[in-house]
Amino acid sequence: MAGTRAAPTLLPVSKRKRKARPAAQPKRRPAKRSPARPRRSEPDLIEMVADTLAGDEPLPLLALASSLLAAVDPRDEGPTAQPGPDHPTLDEMVESLVAAPLPESSALLTALAVLSGDEVLRKRVVREVADRAHSLPGWLAELHRAEPGDEAAEITDLYGDGAQVLLEVTLLGGHAITAIVGIDHNADSMVGGAFVAPAGMDVSIDQVLAAYDDPDTTWVPLAPADARARLEDAIRVEAITFPRIETEGWPSSRPLVEWMLRMLPAGGRGYERQQWSEAELDELARRFRASPAAEGLADPGDLLTSILEFGAGHGLGDPRRWSPARADQLLLDWIPRKVVAGVEDLAAAPDVLRALVRFGAGERGLRADLREYTLGVIDEFEPEYQELIRAERPQSSAAVFAATGIDVQDPVDPVED
Asked whether residue 309 falls in the same domain as residue 385, the answer is: yes
Higher pLDDT, 113 or 415: 113
CA-based nearest residue to 105, from 57, 42, 61, 56? 61
- Provide Rg for the chain, Cα atoms: 26
Can you tell me the mean pLDDT for 310-329? 94
DSSP secondary structure string for all residues of 158-226:
TTSSEEEEEEEEE-TTS-EEEEEEEEEGGGTTEEEEEEEESS-HHHHHHHHHHHHT-TT--EEEE-HHH
78-112: buried (b, 16+ CB within 10 Å) or exposed (e) per residue? eeeeeeeeebbebebbbebbbbbbbbbbbbbbbbb
Confidence band, pLDDT 50/70/90 cuts, at residue 85: low
Instruction: Give ∠ CA 112-115-121 in degrees, rounded to 5.
Output: 60
pLDDT, tens digit, 9 for 90 and up, residues 160-175: 899 999 999 999 999 9
Residues near 392 by Cβ (< 8 Å), separated by ≥ 6? none
pLDDT greater than 70 at residue 404: no
| Of 41-50, 159-168, 219-228, 279-288, the least confident | 41-50
Confidence band, pLDDT 50/70/90 cuts, at residue 409: very low
CA-based nearest residue to 359, from 312, 293, 263, 271? 293
Asked whether residue 203 falls in the same domain as residue 306, the answer is: no
Asked whether residue 157 falls in the same domain as residue 254, the answer is: yes
Confidence band, pLDDT 50/70/90 cuts, at residue 83: low
> SS3 of 84, please?
strand
Asked whether residue 228 falls in the same domain as residue 161, the answer is: yes
Query: Helix axis angle, 103-116 relative to 119-132, nearest 10°?
Result: 160
Higher pLDDT, 242 or 83: 242
Q: Is residue 175 in some structural domain? A: yes
pLDDT greater than 90 at residue 266: yes
Q: Is residue 135 in some structural domain? A: no
Q: How many H-runs (helices) and E-runs (strands) does the chain carry?
A: 17, 6
Q: Is residue 358 in some structural domain? A: yes
Q: Is residue 238 in some structural domain? A: yes
Asked whether residue 297 falls in the same domain as residue 386, the answer is: yes
Give dist(CA 37, CA 35) in Å, integer.
Answer: 6
Asked whether residue 286 falls in the same domain as residue 257, the answer is: no
Q: Is residue 2 in some structural domain? A: no
45-76: buried (b, 16+ CB within 10 Å) or exposed (e) per residue? bbebbeebbeeeebbbbbbbbbbbbbbbeeeb
pLDDT greater than 90 at residue 18: no
> SS3 of 276, please?
coil
Asked whether residue 390 falls in the same domain as residue 302, the answer is: yes
pLDDT, tens digit, 9 for 90 and up, residues 212-241: 888 888 899 999 999 999 999 999 999 998
Instruction: Supply the pLDDT for residue 417.
Output: 37
DSSP-assigned letter for residue 334 = I
Percentage above 90 pLDDT, the chain: 72
374 close to 325: Cβ distance less than 8 angstroms: no
Asked whether residue 250 falls in the same domain as residue 291, the answer is: no
Percentage above 70 pLDDT, the chain: 82
pLDDT, tens digit, 9 for 90 and up, residues 106-137: 999 999 999 999 999 999 999 999 999 999 99
Asked whether residue 168 falls in the same domain as residue 231, the answer is: yes
260-288: buried (b, 16+ CB within 10 Å) or exposed (e) per residue? bbeebeeebeebebeebeeeebeebbeeb
pLDDT greater than 60 at residue 416: no
Could you give the number of structural domains in the chain?
2
Asked whether residue 291 falls in the same domain as residue 382, the answer is: yes
Positive/negative CA dihedral, 135, 137, 143, 145: positive
Could you list the residue range(s) of the whole structural domain that residue 319 is in?
278-400
pLDDT, tens digit, 9 for 90 and up, residues 340-383: 999 999 999 999 999 999 999 999 999 999 999 999 999 999 99
Can you tell me the mean pLDDT for 405-414? 41
Q: Is residue 76 in some structural domain? A: no
DSSP-assigned letter for residue 87 = B
Position 181, amino acid? V
Q: Is residue 54 in some structural domain? A: no
Q: Is residue 167 in some structural domain? A: yes
Can you tell me the mean pLDDT for 385-398? 79
pLDDT greater than 50 at residue 300: yes
Asked whether residue 295 falls in the same domain as residue 193, the answer is: no
Asked whether residue 192 falls in the same domain as residue 257, the answer is: yes
